[in-house]
Every structure is written in structure tokens, then in C-alpha cells.
Amino acid sequence: MKWRFSFLAGLLVAALVFTSGVALSAELAKEQVWRWAHHTTDLDSFDPAFGVVDGAYSVGSYMFNGLVRLPPGTLDFDNLEGDLAESWEVSEDGLTYTFHLRKGVQWHKGYGEFTAEDVKYTFDRLRDAKLSSPYGAKYGIIKEVKVVDPYTAKIILTAPSTFFLLDQVLAYQAGNIVCKKRGDEVGNKNLGLEVIGTGPFQFHEYFAKEKVILVRNEKYFRGKPTLKRLEIYFMPNVASRTLAFIKGDLDAIYGKRDPKWVEDVKKTPTVIVDAVPLGSGCAVHFNMTRKPLDNIKVRKALALTADRKIFEQYFRGIYYKMIAPVPPSYYATLPEDATPEELLYNYDLEKAKKLLAEAGFGGGFKLKAFSTTKPYYLAPLEICKEQWKKLGVNLEITVVDHTSFHANIRKDMNDVVIYYAGRPPVADSYLTQWYYSKSIVGKPKAITNFSHYGDVDADGDGKVDSIDSLIEAARSELNSQKQRDLYYKAQLQLLMHVPSKPLHELTKVLVRHNYFDPGVEIKGSMIFGYPLEKAKILKH
């Protein structure tokens, strides 16, 4: 792997000799075609209820709108703006959301005007078990969607949820509104790739495993975009993606989550790297049903030796320190200054050895883990392995392909799991998916609770430990400070019980030439791509 990388790095450096700075002008380039390459091999579906591949929901976001959205280029969760809804209000009990919709918004390709019927259709469809949307479970919170009039929709919840707008309604993944007329034509199933949206760009052509082409929506309600056509390529091979980008055949690409790659690519004078959140949080999860990981002292010892500084040195410019179970760029993450020193689990080998001896495992033990071939998964596990060797702990890593890895960890086959994930940017999504008792792997509503927290006695006092009640209480708490306090309490409890050790959040790596102007400052991005409704290609 190293020599492969050196080879690529050598080519990149050599490329600089042959590529010079490009003089920029404020004038628009004659051809407003945006060429972008994704890191994924293909798409699955542009249907917001089904698109789970990074490339699919990211490209899909150019074709759809939600009811509300984040200000483009930001992750400003406190300042959501209207998208298809011009305004909205929440009832005092937090159960009813009333959305006042924009008038005159047209669906692509003559599918008529967007109305409240489309809102009802979108959310009813997601809740329909027969549809089997991978996002369906979180829409169970909706009791009913009412069409008050064509431009007013009411959503009634089963219980108050302060994250409803951010987690379920936001213009992101399943929160994007689909066209009822188109849905009726296709039937109650995956809408596939030829979707009808209201967004700034519309579907034009798809070539499997190669590219997808979108063209601008001349009737976009915020005004016709400057870019006329988007050519989006699927290029999983990082070397060819990088070379094509440096030559200028691509205006922007999704980069590699590798600090060395980022440093190399930055040497080209026209290149701008936007290493921004929302990133993927990473923690090492301990399977507490396995001996000796059922012993809190053992887990604490492992947590104390997984040194965050080594990860920081390894990931450099794409690294954010993550000290809490909720990643640092997510809403209601536990701040470092509110965390007691001993719960940070900063590197302390002596203390770790002592804890292990007290637990009766001073001589060490063996652990097993499956890892994927993806370098940013494998590297942290190997770093842990090296660190834990100092305790006499031998971590046996079996490398399998990414699909097998996901299948194996869900069969509870690992002692420890390293997992990266970007999720809706709220504490609730992370805590629910990793630490809620119903999310434990093997259960009917399992998601990614690999530690079995919520079903086991984590601290050895003879009682099962859980943060379920805190998660549920926080979800329905309407006072934001009280809600934050509940999330902080849950995170502190997790840190005390060590079902996992939070390690870091890795940024997204969006890379562009300076002649591609996204039209807004890029401070964060929910998708693997740039906001494009105001974007332009400058003369170069």
C-alpha cells in the first residue's frame, strides 16, 4: 500500500512541474459545465427514500428541495432557512408543525405545481412499512400529515421532538420532497434514477458505472442557475481521479481522506482544498458481552492506551479531536471543558497496566476483529493494535472486503469494532444508533449498537446500565438548554461506563480548482459535493 501511495505522490509532485498557475478573471467562462468526480463506483437510487450511497444522495440533493434547509455552505443548525416552506410554526406542545409553502414552485419536466399533497405523499410514503425505505424507521415519529390547503401542510407527531426539523425534515437524504404525480406513475416502490424534483438541476442521462448528467432547471424558483450542465463521473480510483483533476478535465472532485494526499494535491497552485465538517465520527466500540471486555477495568485500560495523539499525527489536516460519544461538529456534543479529566481517557500507560492487573489480566489477552480494506478503517485498528501490544493485548485483525465487514459486525462477530459514520448532525442520531438498547445488533430494530450498551451491566454493580430514558427525555424536551443537559448527562454516563472510546471526526475532503466558484463560502457540507445553485465557472 505504501509503495503504491509513494508512486502516486511522486506523480503528483512531478505534475506540478508541468502545471502552472492559472490566471483568474471575474468573468464567466463561456462553457458553464461543471465536471465533478465521485469516489464511489456508481449510484443506487436518486429516490430520497432509497439513496444511501454517498454519490446518490449527494447528487440527488441538486434535484430536490426539502421543506427547510441549512444556509448553503454552512452547518449552521441554529439558523435553518425555508426551502419549499416559506415559514413554519410549532405548536406549544411541540406536537404539530405547520408549514406554509411557497407558491408557484414547479416540478421538473412539466409535472405541475408543488403543493401540500406532495408533502403528505413524501412523509406518508416513508412511514409505509411496505416501501421498506432504509430511512423508514425514523419517520415512525409522525402520526399524521394533513393537507390544510394546497399551500399549507400540518405534520402531527406522536411525541414532541426538538430534532424533528433537523433529523426528519431537513433537505437532506429522505427529507427531500418527492413528486406525488410521479410517485403515482411509478407505484409504491423505489423511484429509481429518473426522478422528478423541484431543485436547481434536473435528471438528463445516466450511464451505469460511468457518469450521470444533469441539466439546469430553467424554472428554478430561486432563479435559473448559472451552471448549465453537470457532468458527474464515478471514479473510485483515486490516482486517475486526481490526475484528471490536476489536468483540468475535472473542475472539482471528492478527495482522499488521507493527509499526505491532501498536502500533495495542494501543491498545484490552482487547487483549493475544503476540508470541512460534517465529517464522520470514529470510535472503537467494545463488545461488552465478550470476556474480558465485560470488565470495566479492562475497557478503561484499552481506552487509556488508544492514544489520540497518534491518530492526530496520522490524520493531520483532516482530523478533529473527538472526546465525547457525539462527534464535535454535531449538535449537543459534550464540550471538552465540561468533561472531567479522568473521562477524557488521555494516554496513560501506567494507569492502564495497573487497571488490567487489578482486573486479573495483567498477562494480557487476545481480541479478534474484522476490518474492511478501506485504509481509513484499517489504519486506526492497526494503531490500536500497536498501542494495546504494550498491555500484552494481542488484537488479531482479519481484513475482509467492505460488504463482508458490514455483514460480519452485524452478526456480532467482532470483539472490537472501529466504525466511521456521518449521520444527521444531532446528538440524538448518534446516541440512538450506537447506544440505545433497541439498536443493539441482533435485535429486530438493530442498527449499530455493537457494544450492547443498554442490555448489560457495564459498571459491574449488578444492574443493567442504559441511557434509553435520557435519550427519550431529551428527544421530547422543548427547552434547548434542558435538552442539552440531558444529552450531556447521557454522554458523561457513557464515558464513565466506556462502551467505546471516542477517537476523532474526519472531515469531508472537497477539492476544487479556483476557477470553480461555489458562490458561497464553504464552511461545512452535509453532502459529498458543493452547493451549486449560485455556482459558476470563471474564465481561466
Partner 1 sequence: MLTFIIRRILSAIPTILVVISLVFFAVRGLGGDPAIAILGDRATPQALEAIRERLGLNEPLWKQYTSFLWRLAHGDLGRDLRTDIPVAKLFARAVPYTIDLAIWATVIGILIGVPTGVLAALKWNSPLDFIGRFVGILGFSFPTFYLSILLLFIFGLILGWFPMMGGGGDYSDLGNRAYHLFLPALSLGLIKAAFVMRLTRSSMLNVLHEDYVRTARSKGLKERVVIYKHALRNSLLPVVTMIGLYLAVTIGGSIEVEIVFNRPGIGKFLIGAIQERNYSVIQSGLVVLAVFIVLVNLITDLSYAFIDPRIKYD
At its nearest, how many Å lie between partner 1 and the CB of residue 57?
A: 10
Determine, following the binding rule CB under 8 A, whether residue 135 of this chain makes contact with partner 1.
yes
DSSP 385-414: HHHHHTTT-EEEEEEE-HHHHHHHHHTT--
Nearest to 419 by CA among 441, 438, 437: 441
Q: Which of 505, 538, 510 is nearest to 524 (CA)?
A: 510
Could you list the beta-strand ranges (E) of 104-170: 142-149, 152-157
Closest to partner 1 by CB, 234 vs 515, is 234
**Interacting positions 332-391 with partner 1 (CB under 8 A):** none
For residues 135 and 528, which CB has a smaller minimum distance to partner 1 in the complex?
Answer: 135
Q: Closer to partner 1 by CB, 100 or 241: give it.
A: 241
DSSP codes of every residue in 139-150: GGGEEEEEEEET
Region near partner 1 per CB under 8 A, out of 12-20, 162-170, 314-322, 485-493: 12-20
Residues touching partner 1, count (CB under 8 A)? 61
Q: Which C-beta is closer to partner 1: that of 225 or that of 529? A: 529
Taking each helix axis from N to C end, the angle separating 296-305 and 375-389, rounded to the nearest 10 degrees, works out to 110
Angle at 217 between CA 530 and CA 152, to 5 degrees: 95
If the CB atoms of residues 287 and 305 are measured against partner 1, the closer one turns out to be: 287
Which is nearer to partner 1, 264 or 307 (by Cβ)?
A: 264
Question: Rounded to the nearest 5 degrees, what angle is found at the Cα of 106, between the Cα atoms of 206 and 103?
Answer: 150
- Local structure of 417: helix, strand or coil: strand
280: contact with partner 1 by CB under 8 A: no
Q: Does 209 bind partner 1 (CB under 8 A)?
A: yes
- In this structure, how many other beta carbons lie within 10 angstroms of the beta carbon of residue 422? 21
Residue whose C-alpha is closest to residue 179's, from 118, 124, 133: 118
Binding to partner 1 by residue 16, rule CB under 8 A? Answer: no
Q: Which is nearer to partner 1, 316 or 406 (CB)?
A: 406
> To the nearest whole angstrom, how small is the minimum distance from the Cβ of residue 26 to partner 1?
27
End-to-end CA distance of the chain: 36
> Cα-flanking dihedrals φ and ψ of residue 287, to 5°?
-80, 100
The site string for partner 1 over 387-416 (x = CB under 8 A, - otherwise) reads -------------xxxxx-xxx-x------
Position 14 contacts partner 1 (CB under 8 A): yes
Q: Report phi then psi at 484, rounded to 5.
A: -60, -40
**Residue of 64, 220, 234, 330 interacting with partner 1 (CB under 8 A):** 234
Options 24, 244, 343, 349; binder of partner 1; rule CB under 8 A: 244
- The verdict on 79 binding partner 1 (CB under 8 A) reads no
Enumerate binding residues for partner 1 (CB under 8 A). Answer: 7-8, 11, 14-15, 18, 37, 41-45, 50, 52-53, 129-130, 132-137, 190, 192-193, 207-211, 233-237, 239-240, 243-244, 246-247, 249, 400-404, 406-408, 410, 421, 423, 433, 443-448
